[in-house]
Amino acid sequence: MNLLTTLIASMLLTAVAIPILSRVALWCNLVDLPNERKVHNRPIPRVGGLAMVLGTCAPLIRWEWGNEFLHAYLAGALVLVLFGLADDLWDISPLWKLCGQSIAATVIIVEGGVRIATLGSLLPAWLTVPAWMLTALTLITIVGVTNAINLADGLDGLAGGISLLCIAEIGFMAWQEGDAIICLIAVALCGAIFGFLRYNTFPASVFMGDTGSQFLGFSAITLALSLTQGVTPLSPVVPLLILGFPVLDTMTVMTGRIARGCSPFAADKTHFHHNLLALGLHHTESVLVIYLIQVSLVVAAYYLRFFSDWLLLGGYLLFSTAVLALFALSRKRNWEPRRTRALTRVKERLRVMRDETPVVIYMFRALCFLYPALLVLTFALSGPPSTPFALSAVVFMLALAAMRFLLPAGFEPLLHAIIYLIVPYGVYLSGQWLDSQAPLAARACNVVFGLVTFLFILVPKVTRRNAAFKSTPMDFLIVFLAAAALLPEAATPDFRLGMVAVKILILYYGCEVLMAELRGEYAVLAGGTVAALAIPVVRWAV
């Protein structure tokens, strides 16, 4: 339960902290101003990184404060946060940033014991590498990957999505290997990134800044090295595959700058995402293409994690060559993206559905009633509630009633917050009870979740409302991670943790869609929420 609690706590803490910090950012000028290199045209607060740090660290300190590795990790992260915040406020020089990254890397090497101890079969058995050389290599690797994620932060949702895929992969492998602390840190980071992406997908209302990008890069490479350099059957080349795309991007850009006689830290528009935009892809299309590339790498890393080190290295070099060749060829021939006939037909059909108003109305009405019904069903099929939750449910119902009549303007945010708070608890308890007591009902419940998911995805595509929920590349991340959670390896002896995570994501996603579509008409949703809250109260009382 600690993993699930940590995931939800870190996500909610980050999501709640961002609006508060955004207001502070406007007072102290902690904003990203538009210029010729930027794709945004208005000042954007750069506080997403601070919010992610808060969301990540709070649950970790709560659950594992006595862990020595966690102490070293938090100390190194704190150094990066201080230097990153200084850069976001005063735009410090690359040398000072490099100094901060080196100090953080030194802390985690010395205090956390993170170091490259072996290169596996890449070196002959008779060759002994001096310890100081391996330590220096570790320092360069940590600093390099920290910069790689930092430099990848060029489009809305890009660095956050890449980091989410990398860290989720690391956390899953750590869970399989029985490394509890790395798994817990990875879960906390994933929750914080999810909370951040809620505000950072196109068009972004907040940026992570150097504080966030350096924190994520440092975290990803630190966890990856710690996991693969211990007593483990995992190949030491796995981190290269997991983090291979941002590393390739950084090496390519810096090599090009040096070749042109410029500083490797001089800003320009030669990153892979800039090349995709230059080819004519839209902002979200460019991000989605990079997500797909990153997914191919993390999937390869997972299925090849026990294979030969030379096979993994050779595969990565082949991948890098193919990516560089495709970009070079596209620039040479001035390729332009072509929308396939199939995609054109899908878009035409969606346009027709938008014109056929009754179709949209029926789907919307079905969604309005199915979502509250799903909340009620989730709590109806759950086990006995705990006393604290039953009392909390009473407080929630009274708060909703008071807000509805005394302060109507605050009713929607309160309802939104309560749904987010009760969903994990209800899904967790229902998952345990269904799997142990009613497997047939569990399958039926999954079918209902599947139907509602279909409507959640379809309604934003066919709605004609300008203020409706908009699909973004984050939808792809949710679908991919949900599919990964359904792998047989994601099951535990007691219940399928993966399915619990999938249902929570579905209900959260559906809440966003429905809130955007209802436009203030929350009677049915509020009634379903109150009914769902009443179930554990009645069970507890009797």
Residue 364 confidence class, pLDDT cut points 50, 70, 90: confident
Over the stretch 183-224, which tens digit does the pLDDT of each residue have? 999 999 998 998 898 888 777 788 888 899 999 999 999 999
Rounded-to-integer distance, Cα 181 and Cα 63, Å? 10
| Tens digits of residue pLDDT in 128-157 | 888 889 999 999 999 999 999 988 887 888
Sign, CA dihedral 34-167-169-502, equals: negative
This model's pTM is above 0.95: no
Please enumerate, as own/partner, the contacts of 282-290 that have beta carbons within 8 Å and a separation of 24 or more: 283/39, 283/155, 283/156, 283/202, 284/202, 284/472, 284/473, 285/337, 286/155, 287/155, 287/156, 287/157, 287/158, 287/161, 287/202, 287/473, 288/473, 288/476, 290/158, 290/161, 290/162, 290/245
Cβ neighbours for 173, distance < 8 A, ≥ 6 positions apart: 227, 234, 238, 302, 305
Mean pLDDT of the 67-75 span: 92
Q: How many Å apart are CA 287 and CA 290, to the nearest integer?
A: 5
Tokens of 523: 């009677």
Which two three-digit tokens encode residue 479?
């679908």
Confidence category of residue 41, pLDDT binned at 50, 70, 90: low
